[in-house]
Structures are given as C-alpha cells and as structure tokens.
Amino acid sequence: MNPRKLFALTRAGIMESLHYRLGTFVTLFANLIYLVLVYYLWKAIYASSGVDVVNGMTFTDTMIYLILATSLFNFLEMFVVWDMSRSIQSGKIILDLLKPMKFRAYTFWSYSGSHVVSFIMTFIPTFIVVMIITKGAIPIGMNLVYFIIATLFALIVNFNIEMIVATICLYTESTWGINIVKETIVLLLSGASIPLAFFPEKLRAVVDYMPFRAVYDIPLTILLQKNGSDTLQGLLPMFGFQLLWIVILTAAGTLFWNYSVKKITVNGG
C-alpha cells in the first residue's frame, strides 16, 4: 500500500487531536492526580506489610508500573467500538466502506495520529514526572528502545482486540455492554488494575497465555527490566509472544470482519 496515503491519514489524525488540546491537558492533569492517589495508596499498603519487596516488586516498581499502565491506557485507548456503532447508526460507515482502502487498515491509520499526539502530550510528560518523583528509578538504556517496540506491538494487539469487539457489536446492538465487558477483562487480565506479579500462581498460569498480557504487562515489564527482560534470552520470548498474538488476532479479526461486513444493515444514511 502507498505509504503516502497512510501518512496523510496520520496527519489528519494529528491535526484533529490537536484541535482538542484541552482534552489532552485534562488527561495529563488527571494522570497527575491519579499518580498522587496511587502513590499514597501503595505507600500505605507497603508500609503496612512491613517488607520492602513483595513478589519481586518494590513500592517504587509497583508505583511506576501502575501509573505508566494508566498512562498507557490513555494512550492506547481507541474509541473504535463507539465510533463504529455511531457510524452504523448514522449510516456514515457506508462512506468508509466505499473508500479505496481496506476498512480495517483505514481505521487503524486514522487513529494513528491521535496516538502520536497522546504519546507526546500525555505519556512523555507523565513519564518525566514519574522519573522526577522516583528520583530516576526507571533504568535508562536499551530497555527504552525495547519498550517502544513492545508498545508498538501492544498497540497492534489492542487494535485487533478493539476491532473484534466492534465487529461483535454489529450483531448485538449493544455498545455500552460489550465495551464495558471488554474494558473490564482487558484491564484486569493485562495487569493494569493490579500488577500481574501479584496474581496467585494458578490464575497467573492461565493469564500468561492470554493476549491481554501483551498489551500492558509486557511493555512495562520490559521497561522495569523485570523477569529477565534485560537479557536477550528473556526479551525474545516476550516479543515472540506479542508477535504470535498479533498474527493470530489479525487473522481472526480479518476473517471475522470480512464475514460480518456482508451482514451489516444500515438504516438510512
């Protein structure tokens, strides 16, 4: 596919998000308040436990993990499900389907611009604040590069999950319900609400095979250099896991979408 076409979509997305700057600032501000909440809560939790390291996580590790998970959540958040249901209701989806481009690719690239903006305007400032508060507890080195690669993979996995859920919505006429089920499952099983390191072993064994881990836990584990991700032997299986799920979910999502799109009924539009 012609890369110029794709970058045009990215540019349009960037311009659109910059138009809603206020939203970005509010998100950043909220991240900071959230940071305070997480800080006090986990400080109290660790203070009560009387030990410094629980399941291989120190207070600082946990805090960095949870705050950056929230920040990643804002960054990865796509409103594919909502947008799709709205464009089905209004009939706009017909115009998108008629575009000389695969619908899935079109959706992905139209969102890419807002990802770029939110990464620069909310993730990086939050990252810097976390660095200042923890007095540089995040190791700086090659792990940053690996983290960015892992985040890109996470983005694709997340997009695929979103697209599959949005496709389910074509059948159910329910947006809020399906979306909240997805969000809850992803947030819990990806480690965004509580680090996966704290999960009981049996649950952990199941969660480890699910794609959700690829979204938050793997990038953050790599960033914090946990679980042997500072060596190539530790790193490669994680990337492999992400890639495997990208392949599976992309294949499944494409098949599901191509099958379902024939069934869309649009009233009016």
Query: Applying CB under 8 A, which residues contact another protein?
Result: 20, 22-23, 26-27, 30, 33-34, 36-37, 40-41, 43-49, 54-55, 172-174, 176-181, 184-185, 187-188, 193-194, 198-200, 203
Contacts of residue 197, defined as CB under 8 A and 6 or more positions apart, other chains included, come to: 55, 56, 57, 226
H/E stretch holding 53 = strand 53-54
Q: Toward another protein, which CB reaches closer, 45 or 247? A: 45
Least distance to another protein from the beta carbon of 1, Å? 31
Q: Toward another protein, which CB reaches closer, 1 or 47? A: 47
Least distance to another protein from the beta carbon of 187, Å? 7
Q: Toward another protein, which CB reaches closer, 190 or 242? A: 190
Length of the chain: 269
Distances (CA, A) of 119 to 66, 200, 223, 248: 17, 32, 16, 26
Q: Toward another protein, which CB reaches closer, 2 or 267? A: 267
Separation CA 229–CA 219 (nearest Å)? 10
Least distance to another protein from the beta carbon of 222, Å? 22
Least distance to another protein from the beta carbon of 91, Å? 17
Q: Toward another protein, which CB reaches closer, 233 or 267? A: 267
DSSP symbols for 11-35: HHHHHHHHHTHHHHHHHHHHHHHHH
Least distance to another protein from the beta carbon of 262, Å? 21
- Joined together, the tokens standing for residue 18 give 């910059």
